[in-house]
Structure 1
Amino acid sequence: MALKITVIGTGYLGATHAAAMAELGFEVLGLDVVPEKIDKLRRGEVPMYEPGLEELLRRHVAGIEGSTGRLRFTMDWAELGEFGDVHFVCVNTPQRHGEYACDMSYVDSAIASLAPHLKGPALVVGKSTVPVGSADRLAAYLAEHAPAGADAELAWNPEFLREGFAVQDTLRPDRIVVGVRSERSEKLLREVYATPVEEGSPFVVTDFPTAELVKTSANSFLATKISFINAMAELCEATGGDVAKLAEAIGYDDRIGRKFLRAGIGFGGGCLPKDIRAFMARAGELGADQALTFLREIDSINMRQRGRMVELTRQELGGGPFLGKRVAVLGATFKPDSDDVRDSPALNVAGQIHLQGGQVTVYDPKGMDNARSLFPTLGYADSALEAVRGAHVVLHLTEWREFRELDPAKLGEVAAERVVLDGRNALDAEAWRRAGWRFRAMGRPGA
């Protein structure tokens, strides 16, 4: 009999996973405790912008004309427990308020709500990013509180989704990591992921601690690479070097690689910053804090980039206060192809300049509503052209394709002054210069 799958939590990770499991041919039941989310999903609408996700969802949600009907949503834990053979836990693990540590309350609540309804053999699979050691604790809780006892097993299967590529990363992952304690758990997960494995995705079987460490280790390595090139950008500015050429040269080394070596205003979002902080906090709890002290500097370099962009803007405006200066900010989301503004470096820079008296106008292709909710006192425009109108300086802070394809000459006609600062090192400097703009980019003082 075909496996039936449930997904607990229908945010960014859960909605994507549920739709992808239906696409792979499984009957899927998604659960959330927020009625508004469930209502939206039942209509085939996603609660966030993610390329391709709404189309995938509508292809499978029951009740939508022409859909397969393989995907349904509920708020009933009893229905969920009765329906599923494999239960994926995809709830959020935010940074704990006032601390670096991870807030496990949503994961703990999900397991506690599910356990009483596991009356027969079932596999609960954690996908949320959690502190190492959590799976051991949760497995013991399940065995004690589920009516099925030891037949209610736990596995850990970390997610590696990139916002903007989440559908692709779920259907065709670059690796599948599963932490298991039994052959039965491994067999079930091989059945779940049979299609991507057949298509070439590596399937890595390991223990609980290693599975938990894979995600935080990967994010820490990525954060280190980004902050390294940003540190080199500081040195380039001090010495007259060009960080773009430096990154190109070292990127040809196969041991280093070219990805994520573009200097700029740093990383943000709802995962990378909080994950490396939680990793540090957990290392401290385990008495291994010295192993990860370098991550404090990685975090510091990253946050420093935002202040450096503010100061670079001040310099280009003559070095005085921002009062009376109009600043156009292109970008609000923390990365392109997303509407996510959580811990967005672009909005942080815009907010700092606004607090110092600048008249800031923001434009973003997808993140405007979320940005307005978070920073209602900033100005917002309906297009890049309108954001730039009357501006004394233009800041490019999120590398959307739309911004790379802008016509600098047209923008120059409406700007008060032709000054552009590329906070992502992604614009065509020569094209902007030819259109009469003074062009600056981080780590490229001569550009």
Structure 2
Amino acid sequence: MKVAKFGGSSVASAEQLRKVASIIQDDKERKAIVVSAPGKRFSDDIKVTDLLIELGEAYFNKQAYEQQLQAVLERFREITAELHISNDVITEIKASVESILESNQTDAIKMDALKATGEDSLAKVLSAYLQSLGLKASYLNPKEAGIIVTDNPGNAQILEESYAELYKLREREEIFVIPGFFGYTNDGTLNTFSRGGSDITGSIIAAGVQADLYENFTDVDSVYSVNPTIVENPKEITSLTYKEMRELSYAGFSVFHDEALIPAFKADIPVCIKNTNNPNGIGTIIVSKKEPQPNPVVGIASDTGFVSIYVSKYLMNRELGFGRKLLTILEDEDISFEHTPSGIDDLSVIIRESHLPKEKEERVVARIKEVLNPDTIHIDRDLALIMVVGEGMDSTIGLADKATNAFAKANVNIEMMNQGSSEVSMMFGIKTGEVKEAVKSLYETFFTE
């Protein structure tokens, strides 16, 4: 059995859904189908999920929401008309939205239910279209499928007990279409995964049914070794390990939601990224292990929007609990950290800029001064992180030297450098405005020279 997940761009229009149906028909092993909500049809278009979020925000702010609702209904009306299938889903969407808004649930739960409407409705549309083509297909609600999640609206986690229920889906003979992005708590409340969570659903289903392959169809032929908006026509990556993909996803690669691979990784299921518009392309296969490659570096990723908290104190290394106290202060302030490069007398903590707004910064600095009495403390904003990623880097001599020379060639100053204990990546901190030049130089060093 194969699990095939189709992203927002793959289900954005009737034309795209015809391609999806053709892909499903081409391989009888594609029985479990997971879908996102309709995405953008063109660059200035609005995703259906964004329309539903706008609708909810308007309602909660006691503003008119009819315009957003009509836009959602029109998107689905256009799809059903072009596919020549029943438009009953239009009536269902309108009734569902009104029912959600009039319910006695909290605003967070209402918003989750609204956001899930796009995926749920698209799954019904696709299953109806497959049936119209003479295929034995059905819509399958996540509750019926057995996707049981924690009670965390907007950030639900799958419960282990789900997998035994999902395994029963192997007994189904027909194609079943499951909406991505959400599941149900044990008490029957709908909760969504974090944004982009349809990828998570696909991975969960693949692990649950113990699929031979999890195919993730998107709008690119493969994962590229670097952001194609920075480097023109970059090298395609045909194979990656889970660890490499996780590092690349974290550091700005947008092909995959960075939590999406965890269920598939634990179940050791291969994942293949393919293009809905070019389904016969090789794509990128993601596996637990791969053969050593001549070039150990598989990709270069970058992301912006980071802050560094730098703390220095003489004989810090002899002061028991110094690091723990610093991280406890951040925990108390609801701040998670990304990296902690350190020396004998100094320590830096890298965090997302969104976690440390200016009004919180003064309070955090004051607490650090009071608790740790440092010699120096300062905040560096406007930081970007660049990750050089590859499983074979730990056994290759001179990679760090090549990387630092690449920064020197681009005349870019390295603010900080850190290599994780896993030795799958090297992290460099630089100023945001220098990202493009640094990435281009690194790409030339590792992929063209």
TM bracket, shorter-chain basis? under 0.3
- Higher-RCO chain (CA-CA 8 Å, sequence separation at least 6): 2
Give TM-score, length-normalised by structure 1: 0.27
- TM-score (norm. length: structure 2): 0.27
